[in-house]
Chains A and B, each alone.
Chain A
Amino acid sequence: MSAWLERVRAARAASDPAPLLEAIPYARFMGLSAGLVEGELRCSMRFSDHLIGDSSLPALHGGATGALLESVSILTVLWRSETARLPKTINVTVDYLRRGRARDTFAAASLTKAGRRVASVRALAWQVDREAPIAAADAHFLLTPE
């Protein structure tokens, strides 16, 4: 069994997706964490000064918001499908809807379609109010069937 499938099965057995993100150096660097909230997989990005993309406002870097959306998308695919490896991003489109403020950011994703080779995902990022998202993403991932 592949390392990722093993990690995913252990995380599912413990109902805790957090270790999956902790295995990823970039997720640690960006201050990302994961958990289940009322059965929904959520990621959060802890605010840190180094995530600022415009210090005059200040505002979060668009790349940081994009990274959070891509991470929650990957994690949702891992959590919900049986891919033997980490899903590979084919493409991701991010719509920036509101300025990301200097505070923690949250994200969740839904699997629009999970085929054998490709998964389609939509993800949303928000700060205070989920009804007022700061960004949305559409992404496609390549899966490696077991």
Chain B
Amino acid sequence: MGVDRRRDACDTRCVPSEQKQASIDRMNAGMHDFVPHNRELGLAVVDFRHPSGELWMRLPYDARLVGNPDDGMLHGGAITTLMDAACGMAVMVRLGTASRIATLDLRIDHLKPGTPGRDVVAHTECYKVTRSVAFVRGFAHHGDADDPIAAVAASFIRKDAA
């Protein structure tokens, strides 16, 4: 309660300025209009860095997303959805505009069990774009980037590319 969620998401080095927060709010409004499943899960962009194509996105812990009723851990599918969304949004950050893209493939490695009850933050980076394809990698953690619970590698086809 009263915790600065942006801070625990990606540490103090990237607490957004007011102006940046306005762009983040616009990104979230656009995403929630355009992607009903992201809205349903409460996915939210918490920060981004433009030229490097980096993005931070939060998945709030939700009892509906539990994969094992015996321990309360989130289902892998919820992590896949977070990673797919965070990777796709990193492509748009890198391109600097909302773009028509579709996931070509996506690999998730589950590095360690998540902690029931904790939100998950994805930090993704679109490290290369070509005319047709965008490549993204990233990690997910519970607030400590040095202690990741999952890794992702994904590629996207650019549908509006020449």
The residues of A with any CB-CB pair to B shorter than 8 Å are 3-4, 23-30, 49-56, 59, 61-64, 66-68, 70-71, 86, 88-96, 99
Interface set of B (CB-CB < 8 Å, partner A)? 33-40, 63-70, 74-78, 80-85, 100, 102-110, 113
Closest to B106 in A: A94
A residues within 8 A CB of B39? 50
Q: A50-B40, A86-B68, A86-B70 are in contact. List 8 more A-B contacts (CB 8 A).
A: A25-B66, A27-B75, A55-B36, A61-B84, A63-B77, A63-B85, A86-B67, A93-B108
Using Cβ atoms and an 8 Å threshold, which residues of chain A touch B63? 25
Q: Are A67 and B80 touching (Cβ within 8 A)?
A: yes
Q: Which residues of A contact B76 (CB under 8 A)?
A: 67, 70, 89, 92
A61 contacts B106, C-beta separation under 8 Å: no
Contact at A62–B106, with CB atoms within 8 Å? yes
Q: Closest approach, in angstroms, between the C-beta of A32 and any C-beta of chain B?
A: 9
Residues of B contacting A91 in the complex (Cβ-Cβ under 8 angstroms): 107-110
Chain A proximity of B147: nearest CB distance (Å): 18
Contact of B37 among A25, A61, A92, A96 (CB under 8 A): A61
- Chain A residue contacts of B75, Cβ below 8 A: 24, 26-27, 67, 70-71
Assuming A52-B36, A63-B37, A67-B75, is B67 touching A26 (CB within 8 A)? yes
A-B contact pairs, 13 of them (CB 8 A): A25-B64, A25-B65, A28-B64, A29-B64, A51-B37, A61-B35, A61-B84, A63-B77, A63-B82, A67-B76, A86-B68, A92-B108, A93-B108
* B107 close to A92 (CB less than 8 A): yes
Residue of A nearest to B78 (CB): A26
The reply to whether A66 and B65 contact each other, CB–CB distance below 8 Å, is no
Contact of B65 among A26, A59, A86 (CB under 8 A): A26
Known contacts: A24-B75, A94-B105. The answer to whether A64 contacts B34 by CB under 8 A is: no
Whether A64 touches B108, Cβ cut-off 8 Å, given contacts A26-B65, A49-B36, is no
CA distance A141 to B78 in the complex (A): 17
Choose from A55, A68, A70, A88 the contact partner of B35 (Cβ within 8 Å).
Answer: A55
Give Cα distance in the complex from A94 to B84, angstroms: 11
Instruction: List, in ascending order, chain A residues with CB within 8 A of B82's CB.
Output: 63
Query: Do B37 and A52 touch (CB < 8 A)?
Result: yes
CA distance A53 to B33 in the complex (A): 10
A88 to B68, CA, bound (A): 10
**Nearest chain-A residue to B82 (Cβ)?**
A63
B81 touches A93 (CB 8 A): no
Q: Smallest CB–CB gap between A134 and chain B, Å?
A: 12
How far apart are the CA atoms of A66 and B35 in the complex, in Å?
16
| Whole-angstrom CA separation of A111 from B84 in the bound complex | 25
Among B35, B106, B107, the one with the most A-chain Cβ atoms within 10 Å of its Cβ is B106
- In the complex, are the beta carbons of A66 and B69 less than 8 A apart? no
